[in-house]
Amino acid sequence: MNVPAAEVTEHANRRAGGRLGRKALRGTPIASFPTLVRKIPVYQMVPDEAVELIHQESLSILEEVGCEFRDDEAIAMWKAAGADVSDTRVRIDRALLMELVSKVPSEFTLNARNPQRSVRVGGDNSIFVPMYGAPYVRDLDNVRRYGTLADLQNFHKLAYMAPALHSSSSIICEPMEIPVPKRHLHIIHSALKHSDKPFMGIVTSRDRAEDTMAMAGIVFGEDYVRDNPVLVAITNCNSPLVWDATMLDAMKVYARHNQPLILAPFALCGASTSASAVGAVAQVNAEALAGVAFTQLLRPGSPQIYGQFMVTVDMKTGAPMGGTPEAAQMMYLMGALARKYRLPWRTSGFHVGSKLNDAQAGYEANMLMHAAILAGANYIWHSAGWLEAGLTCGYSKFATDCEQLVGWYKYAGGLPFDDFKEAMAAIREVGPQGHFLGTQHTLEHFESAFFMPSIMDFNSYEQWKAEGAKDHDTRGREKARNMLADYEEPKLDEGIADGLEDLIALREEKLPDSVS
Amino acid sequence: MNVPAAEVTEHANRRAGGRLGRKALRGTPIASFPTLVRKIPVYQMVPDEAVELIHQESLSILEEVGCEFRDDEAIAMWKAAGADVSDTRVRIDRALLMELVSKVPSEFTLNARNPQRSVRVGGDNSIFVPMYGAPYVRDLDNVRRYGTLADLQNFHKLAYMAPALHSSSSIICEPMEIPVPKRHLHIIHSALKHSDKPFMGIVTSRDRAEDTMAMAGIVFGEDYVRDNPVLVAITNCNSPLVWDATMLDAMKVYARHNQPLILAPFALCGASTSASAVGAVAQVNAEALAGVAFTQLLRPGSPQIYGQFMVTVDMKTGAPMGGTPEAAQMMYLMGALARKYRLPWRTSGFHVGSKLNDAQAGYEANMLMHAAILAGANYIWHSAGWLEAGLTCGYSKFATDCEQLVGWYKYAGGLPFDDFKEAMAAIREVGPQGHFLGTQHTLEHFESAFFMPSIMDFNSYEQWKAEGAKDHDTRGREKARNMLADYEEPKLDEGIADGLEDLIALREEKLPDSVS
């Protein structure tokens, strides 16, 4: 990994016809919703004083216990900033912490290669982002197996086609057949090629992060991506209270490019936090704030996303759970803290522990999505495909989630009152014991009034039986298959497409086939 | 149906040893949660002005269009009360309407035959009640077939055993093999015999309502049930704007006994209401208020439950749907109206359109339960078993819902802060990169901190596979089977048990085997 990314980019840019800039892309127009602007109030589960109490406890943890930053450069930067540093332990006083956190913009634009797919993150805006990181897929034949590049491409295609998804994520599943050192190139390539929505960066090493930026530079322009957010990258704090070298390396690359990171502790509540929902939130908040603050040492004013991944663990087996009541409750607390700090906030929507797209998955998924929406989450991740605590991405689950998101998009858009007068006139017209199917109001509104999912089946039992008595999981797989059959690629300009391929070829020449 | 219920009751009471009174029952102690007292704030989706606007429109409908009351006695009562009556159409001015509505108590106690199972309805109290009215069951072998008395008994047993269920309902499924004229006797008998929780009355005719009261009188004492709520009975307005004779007959019997009715329009939104969520709510509110007001003509000050059953219909097929976004949104509006009127409020929790206990069922169920809880519903009906828009009660769904309710009970109980100090001490004790499994705080709290469902499976994939790779539906059936194997009847006093059987025998002698 010794080829500087900049050199490769330069070569690729030349081949693609000079500085490429950001271009509107050709390709088939496909329905895609703009940023969801929430029109419903947020729900706060506890009073402001309780939020303040948690906040103060979080700051005390960072002052008294501190947080590990396992990287020399990071430690030097914290020292220079005036933190109390001892070896890799950084104790941050509350004034310094909050001063740094306050530099983060409360909203920003996340740019897509198709400007019509660019979205706003923060404030009243919410976006839905598919899952990330599954080594396994549950495939179109309902077999659980390792993910492949073909699977990943399929999920990027589905993400492109799902109107309520605002991002293509990146590693929706791992293309396990590609050697690890080269894998990131093909992941980013697939996301950029098969969809025109925002995507997510690679964080597993500094070089891979730089390769991501190089590829983004080919698509958006090298200058453009020095300052304009075109991707989001996830960095997880290792709870309790450790930011490790790999994460810090990724932060350096992305934050210095003004690319937003998600600063999200990965907390198995009860194991890597105390067995207290409120205690877990206080700890995770401290961890997230420490990460957010560090990004502002790297690039003050850079857009960042405060976040959390918090699941409770089964205290008998240690297994992570998914859509449990406490996970929802903790979301409301995190959302309240994010609002207090005026930070864009990421949580997870449809993440579940279920192995299958079955009843468990459904109960878990909507336990959490309802909370994510009402808590006012901005970056609602893991909103499609997630099964088995993230180990598996399911085609059926992906299609199901995409459809459900359309309903949630409508839900968060609020209750329309604009046709209320006409609706009341319809009641006067119909009177007792009539029906409304023929009224003018109904004829004008029947398509838009109510969400009508297609994978869910509301037909009569007899009709459903005549159609094969299929369960939801089966119908979800059929839907995914049908969507893929209809896919048309939103093609990259030829020069850009060639530039990306050249860069990959150049990088692959230098990269080993296995991790040494 | 010519035998006066009072006569039968008198005979049965003699056989049972005179006036029986209300007795604490013997039987196996089994875990049962008290009334859920919500410790989290309600969520209001629209501002107060919007609630007021809907309220005013509802009142205008009742003044201008009016509501049908298809019963001579009811019409006479409305005339006497000063309403504008023309044939069966009753136009109620807002002052009269609100005066009657204001007589309803905002809270009441619903008494169980075991006083420890008595619950509060209204205010910050919530209770979970299993489903009602399914002709079909999806049985322990996953076969859909007509319900039987044995099934109904099983569901009453499960309701008794489910700690978070606060009622046994009554017609959880229809015992289809019993002739309709006699069926109600066996339904109520099963509910009273197999469970010691509150139950629900029969509403399909005046005689059957009186039989219900007679049976309740045997268990609780004839005098007792003239004034003390021991059951809840459902009356549905036929939307739009018709209260029919059958419903009015049931109202007369129960309200005059001071037994609470649910006044709940059954609305297929888009067909029996306008294609507008807000318009549907304004109409349903008018219908429910008209029903509530009528009960106060029957018995001023009697406890009543304002309610709704509202599902949207698929506008292409007319099929009722279940857990859709608009159904949840409408709940928030109905909840806000109920609070405005200070009325106990019923909505539905886990009601779904799905044929199976599959992913569809799960997504639908938690879409609605989350809203029911946050909207502050008091009588959360259809909280166990419901499938297929209510046509089917599923054993697996029943067991699943019962377990999920434990989680929702915990959720609505709020976030405990009482151990926050100890939890923060644990973080200081553990520090970075430790784990919390051995801390004193964890040892003290690991069983209570987090909800740990047993039907849901969070084991490793390998473990799950080794145990048969069962889906949630299969595990739910196993759970139901295991619960039934453990059931022990909370026996009625011998005199009461005999009294009920005598009453049934006496009534059956006089009742035909088919509806003439």
DSSP A315-360: TTT--B--S-HHHHHHHHHHHHHHHHHT--EEEESS----SSSBHH
Backbone φ, ψ for residue A161 (5° rounding): -85, -20
Pairing of strands A144-146, A136-138: antiparallel
| Nearest CA-CA distance, residue A500 and chain B, Å | 38
Q: How far apart are CA B238 and CA B266, in angstroms?
A: 6
| Nearest CA-CA distance, residue B240 and chain A, Å | 5
* pLDDT given for residue A446 in this prediction: 84
A137, A173 contact by CB (below 8 A): yes
Nearest CB to A407: which of B324, B397, B420? B324
Q: Which residue(s) pair with B232 in the sheet? A: B200
Identify whether B127 is part of a domain.
Answer: yes
Please provide the size of chain A in residues. 516
Per-residue confidence band for B24, with pLDDT thresholds at 50, 70 and 90: very low
* pLDDT given for residue B10 in this prediction: 45
By percentage, how much of chain A surpasses pLDDT 70? 94
3-state SS assignment for residue B152: helix
Q: Which amino acid, one-letter code, is at A404?
A: Q
Judged by CB atoms closer than 8 Å, whether chains meet at B277 and A416 is answered as yes
By percentage, how much of chain B surpasses pLDDT 70? 94
Pairing of strands A392-394, A136-138: parallel
Helix residue spans in B446-493 (DSSP H): 461-466, 472-486
Identify whether A471 is part of a domain.
Answer: no
* pLDDT given for residue B27 in this prediction: 40
Residue B8 reports pLDDT greater than 50: no
Residue A320, chain B, CB below 8 Å: the answer is yes
Write the pLDDT tens digit of every residue in B234-290. 999 999 999 999 999 999 999 999 999 999 999 999 999 999 999 999 999 999 999
Identify whether A73 is part of a domain.
Answer: yes
DSSP label at residue A492: P
Q: Which amino acid, one-letter code, is at B190?
A: S
pTM greater than the 0.80 cutoff: yes
Helix (H) or strand (E) holding B17: none
Nearest CB to A410: which of B325, B367, B434? B325
| Closest A-chain CA to B145 | A461
Identify whether B191 is part of a domain.
Answer: yes
Of B457, B362, B327, B382, the residue nearest B165 (C-alpha): B382
DSSP assignment of A195-257 equals --S-EE---S-HHHHHHHHHHHHHHH-TTHHHHS--EEEEE--BTTTEE-HHHHHHHHHHHHT
Domain that holds residue A189: 69-413
Write the pLDDT tens digit of every residue in B159-195. 999 999 999 999 999 999 999 999 999 999 999 999 9
* pLDDT given for residue A343 in this prediction: 98
Nearest CB to B359: which of A242, A434, A473? A473
3-state SS assignment for residue B350: coil
Q: How far apart are CA B414 and CA B378, in angstroms?
A: 16
Residue B19 reports pLDDT greater than 60: no
Average pLDDT of chain B, as a whole number:
94
Query: What is the ipTM, given to two decimal places?
Result: 0.94
Pairing of strands B84-86, B89-91: antiparallel
Q: What six digits make up the tokens of A354?
A: 């279920």
Judged by CB atoms closer than 8 Å, whether chains meet at A450 and B313 is answered as yes
Helix residue spans in B238-392 (DSSP H): 245-256, 277-298, 325-341, 359-374
Q: How far is CA B149 from CA A184, B156, B157, B172, B209, in A?
A: 62, 10, 12, 10, 20
Q: How far apart are CA B79 and CA B109, in angstroms?
A: 32
Write the pLDDT tens digit of every residue in B375-386. 999 999 999 999
Residue B5 reports pLDDT greater than 70: no
Q: Considering only CB atoms, which chain A residues are within 8 Å of B358?
A: 358-359, 362, 471-473
* CB within 8 Å of A465: residues ≥ 6 apart: none
Q: How far apart are CA A209 and CA A225, in angstroms?
A: 13
Identify whether B16 is part of a domain.
Answer: no
Which residue do the tokens 């029952």 mark?
B25
* pLDDT given for residue A25 in this prediction: 35
Burial B351-388 (b: 16+ CB within 10 A, else e): bbbbbbbbbbbbbbbbbbbbbbbbbbbbbbbbbbbbbb
Please provide the size of chain B in residues. 516
Q: How far apart are CA A149 and CA A171, in angstroms?
A: 10
Identify whether B1 is part of a domain.
Answer: no
A172, A385 contact by CB (below 8 A): yes
Within 10 angstroms of residue A389's Cβ, the number of other Cβ atoms is 21
Write the pLDDT tens digit of every residue in B380-410. 999 999 999 999 999 999 999 999 999 999 9
Nearest CB to B435: which of A272, A365, A436? A272
Write the pLDDT tens digit of every residue in B284-307. 999 999 999 999 999 999 999 999
Which domain CATH number covers B109? 3.20.20.480
Q: Considering only CB atoms, which chain B residues are within 8 Å of A450?
A: 269-270, 275, 277, 312-313, 315, 321, 324, 326
Judged by CB atoms closer than 8 Å, whether chains meet at B411 and A271 is answered as no
Q: What six digits make up the tokens of B349?
A: 């929790």
Residue B58, chain A, CB below 8 Å: the answer is no
DSSP assignment of B202-233 equals --S-HHHHHHHHHHHHHHH-TTHHHHS--EEE
Nearest CB to B275: which of A392, A445, A458? A445
Judged by CB atoms closer than 8 Å, whether chains meet at B427 and A366 is answered as no
B107, B90 contact by CB (below 8 A): no
Residue B272, chain A, CB below 8 Å: the answer is yes
Write the pLDDT tens digit of every residue in B469-507. 999 999 999 999 999 999 999 999 999 999 999 999 999
Nearest CB to B321: which of A442, A449, A458? A458
A207, A5 contact by CB (below 8 A): yes
B334, B347 contact by CB (below 8 A): yes
| Nearest CA-CA distance, residue B315 and chain A, Å | 6
* pLDDT given for residue A9 in this prediction: 42
| Nearest CA-CA distance, residue B337 and chain A, Å | 15
* pLDDT given for residue A11 in this prediction: 45
Q: What sign does the CA torsion over A23, A29, A30, A33 have?
A: positive
Identify whether B177 is part of a domain.
Answer: yes
Residue B106, Cβ density class (10 Å: 0-12 exposed, 13-18 middle, ≥19 buried): middle
| Nearest CA-CA distance, residue A428 and chain B, Å | 6
3-state SS assignment for residue B394: strand
Of B200, B185, B186, B202, the residue nearest B152 (C-alpha): B186
* pLDDT given for residue B446 in this prediction: 84
A68, A243 contact by CB (below 8 A): yes
A129, A456 contact by CB (below 8 A): no
Identify whether B107 is part of a domain.
Answer: yes
Pairing of strands B136-138, B392-394: parallel
Per-residue confidence band for B420, with pLDDT thresholds at 50, 70 and 90: very high
Q: Cis omega before residue A325 (within 30°)? A: no
| Nearest CA-CA distance, residue B368 and chain A, Å | 9
Residue B156 reports pLDDT greater than 90: yes
* pLDDT given for residue B31 in this prediction: 83
Q: Considering only CB atoms, which chain A residues are within 8 Å of B404?
A: 363
User: In chain B, how many domains are there?
Assistant: 1
* pLDDT given for residue A22 in this prediction: 34
* CB within 8 Å of A117: residues ≥ 6 apart: A32, A166, A196, A197, A198
Q: How far apart are CA B202 and CA B233, in angstroms?
A: 7
Residues in chain A with pLDDT values less than 50? 1-28
Q: How far apart are CA B411 and CA B450, in angstroms?
A: 10
Restricting to B residues 346-375, those with a Cβ less than 8 Å away from any Cβ of A are 353-367, 370-371, 374
